[in-house]
Each structure stands twice: as structure tokens, then as C-alpha cells.
Amino acid sequence: MSLPMGHLKRPRLPAMSWRRLGAPRPAPAEAAETVWVDNAILTPLATGEMRVVDRHWRWVSGAVYDSAGHLVPASQRQWDRTVHQPVAVDPPVVRVPGNVARTLEGPWVFGGHWARHFGHFLLETLPNLWPEEALGTRGIVMMESAFMRREPNFQRGLFVPQLRPWQEALLELAGFGGHELQVSCYKTIRAERLLVPERPVFLNQWVRPEAVGLWRRISDAVGARGSATKVFLSRTRFNSDEGTSATGALRTDPEWDALLDSRFAGAGFAVVNPEELSIPEQIELVRGAGVIAGSSGSALHLSCFADPGTRIVEVGDLRTGGEPLRMQRAIDAACGHWDAYIGYADTDALAGLEALLDTDPGAPEPAPRLADRLNVRRLAAGLRRG
């Protein structure tokens, strides 16, 4: 039904502004802790489905236990329990096995779960290596991902993961280039001495200062800064080569990608395809920029390496629609960034890009004009009558 509002002027929408959005949930106030476990037991990874009253949930088990068989809670991954995320179901006590598939000798650090996807590796594997004392260990042992994809050299028990160049570079910059890597799957493993750090990132919820410290360590190791003060991380090349995201879903369309490239270039941004650059080059790029823009997702998570106070322009995609990505909010809140958001295919918001860039992030937002407030009330009344 058409609405009787032809006689009303559309109220002016508030211009985009810089905001401190905050994380979806506040991070724990206390500092993250570590625990050394002698003769630690890593139980086998397992995953499946279970029925909980009126819904189905996925479950996952596999964690670190001490020599008496008591669970080390810090070894469990926290999940936000959306439809695709599993629930950790590790028992508080297990029977200590007499024989194990293998014992890792010397000191090791527990690195959580092994992630092959760039964004998850950056957010969920790498930050677990935050303790400086982990640098003195012999190696990193991790659980296989709950979303298992067997590698060519896979074997039950332990396997050495195949590193992609970007994984190797990030580990090197974090100080772990000479460490052994082992991933545990399907069989019980023992570690002679194991450092278990408390996880500093809860995906889609919060980021603790310890994760920021690890990202800052990597950023400082790069040292150099790019020359571009405004950077747009384009998705055009990635979508052309890959077609879909890691989940198999198409998140943008070519026309929108092309419009973004053109619009941001016209606003003075250096438009780059991050996948064409090495990890040090990507980090240099965001270290030198005062404004970083890009579509929601892994590439924009590079903001974790940017200086505090950097301005982040997130452009939504088919997944996010009209709201900033929860994980991006958590990263930027922890790193002290300013945020602005442009909804997917929102050409009106995109047209306000230059005005946004001219805005001081610290300036208070202007109060809406009286005429605009009255127009909004009249429009609402017309909707109710319709």
C-alpha cells in the first residue's frame, strides 16, 4: 500500500560520523594468565552433533589435562554458540592413559586450534602466542581445527602442518620462526612441559590487551611504514580469482566492487589488492595509513596492526547488511580505532565519503535540527496511519 507522505519532505539523514563502537561484549577486566603443566595430556579432538531440547548443536572435545587428569580450562576455545559454532564438551576429569601415541620432550607452548584461513589464523591461532615466555619454548603444539580439512601429510596423532607463506611470515615476525610446529588430532598426546596461555580473543565478542600486544609485537618487527595515508583494501581481485568466501558464499557483486574501487580512488585512497602483497608489505601499508577502508572481513582485520587512533571505514557486504561486523568492532575497540560504516550497496552513504573524511573524529556530533525532528515525527505518524 502506498503511504500518504508525498506532501512531506524526506528528513535529512544524519551524515556518517566517526564513532567508538565498542566490542559486542566487554573483555574480562583482569589480565590473562598462563599456567605451566608438567606431563600434560592433550586429549583427542572429536566433533559431532547433539540434540538440545528444541535445537541441534554441534559439539567439540579435545583439550589439555594435567598429569592427574584434571582439565586445564584455559585450553578450551570459547564459542558464541550461533547455529554453526560448536559447544566445548570436555569433561572436568579424565582417566590418565598408560600409553600415549607420542610424548613431546622439553618445553612447548599450547597454541590453541590450528586455523588455515587467514582471518581465523590472525585472530584465533596467532594471539594465543602472546606470552613472552613462550618465545623460550621448543615448539608450538595445537589442536586440529573443529572444521577439519586433512592435509596431504596428515597422520593420526601428530602431524607437521604445511605453512603457507603468510603463515610462515606472521610466525617469524612474532618471534617463532625457529620453533617446531605440531598439530594433534585423533590420538592422545603427552607434553613433558606445556605452557597454556589463556586465550585473548573470543571470536565475535571481545579482544583482550594481550592479543593487541602480540599484534603490536608483529607490527613493530616490520618497522617500516607505507607512504599512502589513505588505503582502500579492494576485494575485486579476490572475488575475481576465488569467486566465493571461505564458507562458499558470495559476499559482494562485481558492480559494487567496481564502484567502491572507483569511488575510493576518487577520494584519494590508494586502492590495493592485499593478496598481491607480502605480509610485511601489508603491515607496512596499514602502519602508514591514517585511514583504512575495506569490505567487511579478513582483509580489514589488518587494522589490528594499525596505530591507535587510526580511522577505519568498513563497507558492509551481503553477510553484514546494515551493521558492522562484530569481530571488526571487537578489534577496533581493543586497538583504539575510530569507526565509520557504509552499508552494502548504500550509494547514498558512499556519496558522503568526502564529507566523512573532512570530519574530526573527536568532534561532538551536531544535534538534529528542529525541522528534521518534526519531519521524522510526521513521517512516523504517516506510517502508523498507513
pLDDT along the chain (386 residues), means of 10: 32 68 94 97 88 80 96 89 77 92 95 92 96 98 76 66 95 97 90 97 95 98 97 88 56 88 97 96 97 96 97 90 90 97 94 94 58 46 47
- Total structural domains in the chain? 2
pLDDT value of residue 99: 86
- Say yes or no: 158 and 282 in one domain: no
Contacts of 353 (CB under 8 A, 6+ apart): 16, 263, 264, 267, 313, 342
Assigned domain for 340 exists: yes
Angle between helices 165-174 and 279-288 (to 10 degrees): 60
Residue 185 has a pLDDT of: 82
Q: How distant is the alpha carbon of residue 361 from its chain centre?
A: 24
Residues 339 and 287 in one domain: yes
For residue 248, what pLDDT is reported? 52
Range of the domain at 289: 220-357
- 295 DSSP 8-state letter: E
Q: Which residues, other chains included, contact 71 with Cβ-Cβ below 8 Å and sequence gap of 6+?
A: 63, 64, 65, 90, 91, 92, 93, 94
Distances (CA, A) of 103 to 58, 73, 100, 129, 157: 30, 21, 7, 21, 11
CA distance 89 to 80: 14
Strands 46-52 and 55-61: antiparallel
pLDDT of residue 318: 84
| Pair (235, 122) in one structural domain | no
SS3 19: strand
Phi then psi for residue 26, to 5 deg, are -70, 140
Query: What angle separates helix 279-288 from helix 209-222, to the nearest 10 degrees?
Result: 100
In a domain? residue 12 = no
210-224-274-346 Cα dihedral, nearest 10 degrees: 80
110 and 241 belong to one structural domain: no
Identify whether 366 is part of a domain: no
Q: Are residues 171 and 224 in the same domain?
A: no
Q: Determine the pLDDT at residue 290.
A: 97
Q: What angle do CA 316, 321, 322 make, to 5 degrees?
A: 85
CATH number of the domain enclosing 225: 3.40.50
What's the pLDDT at 1? 32
Whole-angstrom Cα distance, residue 297 to residue 326? 10
Specify whether 84 is located in the same domain as 189. yes
For 36, 40, 44, 276, the CA distances from 190, given in Å and listed in that order, are: 14, 6, 11, 40
Looking at the fold, whether 174 and 235 belong to one and the same domain comes out as no
Residue 90's SS3 state is coil
CA-based nearest residue to 159, from 189, 192, 125, 184 = 184
Tell whether 61 is covered by a domain: yes
pLDDT at position 78 is: 83
